[in-house]
């Protein structure tokens, strides 16, 4: 079962209100319905609630920076690699450029996979090296010990059963193989989340009642415990923090909407969602928020 309480940073009163509702979600059973959680996330990344078609336009620099650090020092030459939750292929593209022998780019969203498939073909990438595959990160469709390296960038925080996700990546690794992941730290998007959580709590409480949002950021300590429990050795866990300056509140909101997909919008009508977005953007403008807080946990381990 996913974590009940929210580990991300919010102001004390707001965090109390959010976690009280998440406790209610656990009591009424919504938190145990992980199939519905996963379907909601898939629908989000298939474009059900926000314009995810502008994902690369708004966030390629952000995710390329994360990918570069994720792969730094990782010898990919001649290796068989699995990218879990590849999205539009930002990490996968760097893996191919680093000389991987073969790559499986896997994601639960057909829309995201199509973006990567078309992008790689347009760039003249060697698609014979790449297998594009729909997959569930909690149930990888591969035999034990099939890959030299498994990577996953900014995915774990949206996986309901994070331990199963880590166990599956370890299972498909060869003995001595390496796992490398990045995931959201507690301060990731904190300046925007504070506004979004507040407005949905104040103006959309009935729709949020008994609903636990599908977002589970962690810190270094929790990450290390998880890696230990799953059985990874030679662990390395680190954190990087910075701010992405986007230039205007409108660009901040476009970035946030396309990268989060606003998947929780399923709880409300189109009219209500438009009202929420308008109110959020007004507050972003009022506070003149033009940057995104970034807090990324990087983890490595061996089988």
For the entire predicted model, the pTM comes to 0.94
pLDDT for 29-49, tens place per residue?
878 888 989 999 999 999 999
Domains with residue ranges and CATH for the chain? 12-302 (3.40.50.150)
Q: Are 19 and 6 in contact (CB under 8 A)?
A: yes
Mean pLDDT of 56-82: 96
pLDDT at res. 2: 81
| Beta strand ranges found along the chain (DSSP E) | 80-84, 102-107, 130-134, 147-153, 173-184, 233-245, 291-302
List strand residue ranges (DSSP E) for 97-216, in order. Answer: 102-107, 130-134, 147-153, 173-184
Across 202-222, b (16+ Cβ under 10 Å) vs e yields ebbeebbebbbbbbbbbbeeb
Q: Is residue 1 predicted with pLDDT exceeding 90? A: no
Looking at every residue in the chain, the average pLDDT score rounds to 94
- What's the pLDDT score for residue 121? 82
What is the arithmetic mean of pLDDT over 174-191? 98
User: Given pLDDT bands bounded at 50, 70 and 90, which one contains residue 125?
Assistant: low
* From 23-32, 66-75, 94-103, 273-282, the region with the lowest mean pLDDT: 23-32
Q: 108 by DSSP, 3-state: which?
A: coil
Read off the pLDDT of residues 207-218 as tens digits, 9 standing for 90 and up.
889 999 999 999
- With contact defined as beta carbons under 8 Å apart, do 180 and 70 qualify? yes
- For residue 126, count CB atoms less than 10 angstroms from its CB and return exposed for 0-12, middle for 13-18, buried for 19 or more: exposed
Instruction: Please report the pLDDT score of residue 123 as a whole number.
Output: 65
What's the chain's length in residues? 303
- Predicted pLDDT at 126: 62
Q: Which of 264, 216, 211, 265 is nearest to 31 (CA)?
A: 211
Rounded mean pLDDT of 189-202?
A: 95
Strands of the 233-245 sheet, one edge to the other: 130-134, 102-107, 80-84, 147-153, 173-184, 291-302, 233-245
Of the pLDDT bands very low, low, confident and very high (cuts 50, 70, 90), residue 298 is very high
Confirm if 217 and 8 have CB atoms less than 8 A apart: yes
Q: Residue 238 pLDDT more than 70?
A: yes
Give CA angle at 169 (167, 172), nearest 5°.
Answer: 105
Predicted confidence at residue 124, as pLDDT, reads: 62
pLDDT above 80 (res 122): no
């Amino acid at each position: 079962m996913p974590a009940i309480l929210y580990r991300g940073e919010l102001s004390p009163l707001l965090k109390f209100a959010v976690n009280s509702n998440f406790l209610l979600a656990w009591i009424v059973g919504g938190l145990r319905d992980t199939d519905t959680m996963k379907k909601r996330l898939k629908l989000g990344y298939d474009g059900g609630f926000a314009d995810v078609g502008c994902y690369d336009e708004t966030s390629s620099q952000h995710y390329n920076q994360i990918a570069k650090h994720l792969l730094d020092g990782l010898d990919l030459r001649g290796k068989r690699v699995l990218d879990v939750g590849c999205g539009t292929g930002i990490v996968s593209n760097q893996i191919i450029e680093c000389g991987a022998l073969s790559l499986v780019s896997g994601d639960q969203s057909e829309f995201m996979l199509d973006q990567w498939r078309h992008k790689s073909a347009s760039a003249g990438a060697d698609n014979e090296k790449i297998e594009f595959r729909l997959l569930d990160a909690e149930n990888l469709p591969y035999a034990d010990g099939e890959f030299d390296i498994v990577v996953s960038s900014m995915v774990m925080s949206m996986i309901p059963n994070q331990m199963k996700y880590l166990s599956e990546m370890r299972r498909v690794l060869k003995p001595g193989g390496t796992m490398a992941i990045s995931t959201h730290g507690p301060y990731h998007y904190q300046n925007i989340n504070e506004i979004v959580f507040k407005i949905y709590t104040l103006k959309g409480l009935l729709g949020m009642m008994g609903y636990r949002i599908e977002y589970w950021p962690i810190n270094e300590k929790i990450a290390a415990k998880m890696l230990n429990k799953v059985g990874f050795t030679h662990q390395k866990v680190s954190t990087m923090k910075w701010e992405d300056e986007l230039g205007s509140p409108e660009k901040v909101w476009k970035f946030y909407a396309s990268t989060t997909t606003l998947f929780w919008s399923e709880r409300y009508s189109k009219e209500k969602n438009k009202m929420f977005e308008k109110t959020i953007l007004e507050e972003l403008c009022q506070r003149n928020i033009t940057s995104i807080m970034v807090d990324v946990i990087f983890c490595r381990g061996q089988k």
